[in-house]
Amino acid sequence: VSSVLTASGEHLLADFYGIAAAPLKDAAFLERLLREAAQQAGATVLSSHFHIFGEEEGVTGVVLLSESHISIHTWPETGFAALDVFMCGSALPERALQHAARVLKPARQKVTHAERGARSKR
Amino acid sequence: VSSVLTASGEHLLADFYGIAAAPLKDAAFLERLLREAAQQAGATVLSSHFHIFGEEEGVTGVVLLSESHISIHTWPETGFAALDVFMCGSALPERALQHAARVLKPARQKVTHAERGARSKR
């Protein structure tokens, strides 16, 4: 039995609280923000896909990356956003998260780090 | 200071090891699987987006849901897949994960549960 590196992925789950409602309703703004965040991390954007639930409602969106993905789901009515930054390889997911926090200015954030697929026995 | 429910999301991060290479290269198969998984969970599919890196390489894909998303990133060369099931509301993300595991038959899996945005002080 040997241990092999199957993939080396870092996944940051960020819960952002206390954001102004306006940016959380603006799909075009959020799409631009997540693409910029990917760039800041040194990741390569493949495509991005955003959905608006209604004029005064939240947004759901994803940026697919060569290195995995960034996703966001927003609730403008409570000022909440759930942001995920999942990157494999040499990209720096923390930089993407820092960029998003700098722009969205959450009053409070809770970030969970998860290592994905670090090692496998076989 | 009162505590309010800002969103009620359950996020399952599943690392699947020891999967056969063939399904992990098959974007159409994986897209169908993740859409079925969403259905099994009682979630509503908005759209799905899959990317193939090359004929013998991995797949990156996402299904956007009214309830958030399901994503997958695969490494056929090591039999590894990173699956995320993030659902808000009354959908049952465990059922989506069970369906994916039943079909992909990983030799080993590691699942991390994360509560997203459960409560906020304000």
User: Is B2 a residue whose pLDDT tops 60?
Assistant: no
Whether residues B84 and A84 touch (CB distance < 8 A) is answered with yes
Active-site residue A120, yes or no? no
Q: B6 — contact with chain A (CB < 8 Å)? A: yes
Q: Which of residues 45-64 of A touch B (CB under 8 A)?
A: 46-47, 49, 51, 53, 60-62, 64
Percent helix, percent strand, percent coil in chain A, to nearest 5 = 25, 45, 30
Residue of chain A whose Cα is closest to the Cα of B116: A15
User: Is A46 a residue whose pLDDT tops 50?
Assistant: yes
Q: What are phi and psi of A20, to 5 degrees?
A: -60, 145
Measured CA to CA in angstroms, residue A100 lies from A71, A81, B86 at distances of: 11, 11, 20
| ipTM, two decimals | 0.91
- Of the candidates B88, B90, B99, B113, the residue annotated as catalytic is B88
Whether residues A13 and B114 touch (CB distance < 8 A) is answered with yes
How is residue A17 written in tokens?
């609280």
Active-site residue A3, yes or no? no
What is the nearest CA distance from B21 to chain A, expressed in angstroms?
Answer: 13
Closest CA relative to residue A6, chosen from B13, B100, B81, B21: B81
- Given pLDDT bands bounded at 50, 70 and 90, which one contains residue A120? very low
pTM as predicted: 0.92
Q: A3 — contact with chain B (CB < 8 Å)? A: no
pLDDT at A1: 39
Per-residue pLDDT tens over the stretch B52-74: 998 889 999 999 999 999 999 99
Q: B21 — contact with chain A (CB < 8 Å)? A: no
Active-site residue B11, yes or no? no
The strand ranges marked E within B1-122 are 3-4, 9-17, 45-52, 59-65, 68-75, 80-88, 108-116, 120-121
Percent helix, percent strand, percent coil in chain B, to nearest 5 = 25, 45, 30
Kindly state the average pLDDT of the residues A91-102: 97
- Given pLDDT bands bounded at 50, 70 and 90, which one contains residue B8? confident
Tell me the C-alpha distance between A101 and A114, whole Å. Answer: 19
